């Protein structure tokens, strides 16, 4: 039998290999970019500088700049060790722990906020004690931090875990055999080698935290952050009143991402 007979057909029509994914991906890109551009095109109609200099806007920016870094720091300090454990250790109930980690991701933020209220709200035991001690856990900057951390922390845990997972365990074993204990090995080897992923996780967490609205609205409607302020402006003044603060939020987030990537020297596409 002539072997070419069986595969001969279907050769006349050839689609360039990357055409299909490019077209499909292109649709999504246009869908992302179009609303973005149409929103930006409104900046001319709104008086950006004037609206950003109002006391309400200034307070919102200040509050966001105070809370989001704190939430990110809290998520990182507690989340990176957890990520390391999930990457390295196998233990009974690991599946459960993994489920708990992604719980805030799959919950609608507003529901997450409601849950937080049932845990630390003013009329719960914890909330009452804290309020009596002068540190109310709701309707305060601390409440904003609690809401942001709840919603945003999974990003740093999940991303850092993938980063630790891609570090060959033998590099850590070599460090142990060269005389370093587990903590020194984590500090000298695991952390620097997973740095790219951890920084990416921190960036995602920060972006998520500073933009957090749903849970924040439930736990701390006051004091206002940029997202809650945007909501109030929208309700009272319509779309154009929202543009200046939205741009401010975008600028802050972009600045932080750029700074982290520059400082952390993360390659743009894949981490090296």
Partner 1 sequence: MTNETGESRVRLAIDALSHRYGDELAVDDVSFGIEAGELVALVGPSGCGKTTVVQSIAGHVRPTAGRIALHGEDVTGVPPEDRGVSIVFQRSTLYPHMTVGENVAYGLDARGVAPARREALVSKHLELVALDDQREARPTELSGGQRRRAELARALAPSPDVLLLDEPLSALDRTLRIRLREEIARIQRETGVTTLFVTHDQEDAMALADRLVVMNEGRIVGRGRPRDLYESPPTPFVASFLGRANTFSATVLKSNPLTVRRGDETVEIRGVKADVSDDSTVTCHVHPEDLSVRPAESRATNPSIRGTVAHVADVGRRYDVTVRIGSGEDLVAEQVSSPPAVDDDVAVAFPGDRLHLFDRDEGRRVPLSAV
**Contact with partner 1 (CB under 8 A) among 181, 222, 237, 239:** 181
CA distance 223 to 138: 10
- Minimum CB distance to partner 1, residue 266 (Å): 14
**Contact with partner 1 (CB under 8 A) among 40, 77, 171, 254:** 171
188-217: which residues touch partner 1 (CB under 8 A)? 188-189, 192-193
Q: How many residues bind partner 1 (CB under 8 A)?
A: 17
Question: Are the C-beta atoms of 250 and 258 separated by less than 8 Å?
Answer: no
CA distance 13 to 21: 18
Among the residue ranges 49-57, 122-130, 175-183, 200-208, the one whose residues contact partner 1 (CB under 8 A): 175-183
The reply on whether position 221 binds partner 1 by CB under 8 A is no
Among the residue ranges 79-87, 96-104, 182-190, 199-207, the one whose residues contact partner 1 (CB under 8 A): 182-190
- Minimum CB distance to partner 1, residue 178 (Å): 4
C-beta closer to partner 1: residue 192 or 237: 192
- Minimum CB distance to partner 1, residue 180 (Å): 5
**Contact with partner 1 (CB under 8 A) among 166, 177, 222, 258:** 177
CA distance 62 to 209: 14
Among the residue ranges 101-109, 119-127, 174-182, 232-240, the one whose residues contact partner 1 (CB under 8 A): 174-182
C-beta closer to partner 1: residue 42 or 176: 176
**CB-facing half-sphere around the CA of 80: CA atoms within 13 A:** 20
Q: Which one, of 154, 158, 113, lies nearest residue 137 by Cα?
A: 113
Contacts to partner 1 by CB under 8 A: 168, 170-171, 173-181, 184, 188-189, 192-193
């Amino acid at each position: 039998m002539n072997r070419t007979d069986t595969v001969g057909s279907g050769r006349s029509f050839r689609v360039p290999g990357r055409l299909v994914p490019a077209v499909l991906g292109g649709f999504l890109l246009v869908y992302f970019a179009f609303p973005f551009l149409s929103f930006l095109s409104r900046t001319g109609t709104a008086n950006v500088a004037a609206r950003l200099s109002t006391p309400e806007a200034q307070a919102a920016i200040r509050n966001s700049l105070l809370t989001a870094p704190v939430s990110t720091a809290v998520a990182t300090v507690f989340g990176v060790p957890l990520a390391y454990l999930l990457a390295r250790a196998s233990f009974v109930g690991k599946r459960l722990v993994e489920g708990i980690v992604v719980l805030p991701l799959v919950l609608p933020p507003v529901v997450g906020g409601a849950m937080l209220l049932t845990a630390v709200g003013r009329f719960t035991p914890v909330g009452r004690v804290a309020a009596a001690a002068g540190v109310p856990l709701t309707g305060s900057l601390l409440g904003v931090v609690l809401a942001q951390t709840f919603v945003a922390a999974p990003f740093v845990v999940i991303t850092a875990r993938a980063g630790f997972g891609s570090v060959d365990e033998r590099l850590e074993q070599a460090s142990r055999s060269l005389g370093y204990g587990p903590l020194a090995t984590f500090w000298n080897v695991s952390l620097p080698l997973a740095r790219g992923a951890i920084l990416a996780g921190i960036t995602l967490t920060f972006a998520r935290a500073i933009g957090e609205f749903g849970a924040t609205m439930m736990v701390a409607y006051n004091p206002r952050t940029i997202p809650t302020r945007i909501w109030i402006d929208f309700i009272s003044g319509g779309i154009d009143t929202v543009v200046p603060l939205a741009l401010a939020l975008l600028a802050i987030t972009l600045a932080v991402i750029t700074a982290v990537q520059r400082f952390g020297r993360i390659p743009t596409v894949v981490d090296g």
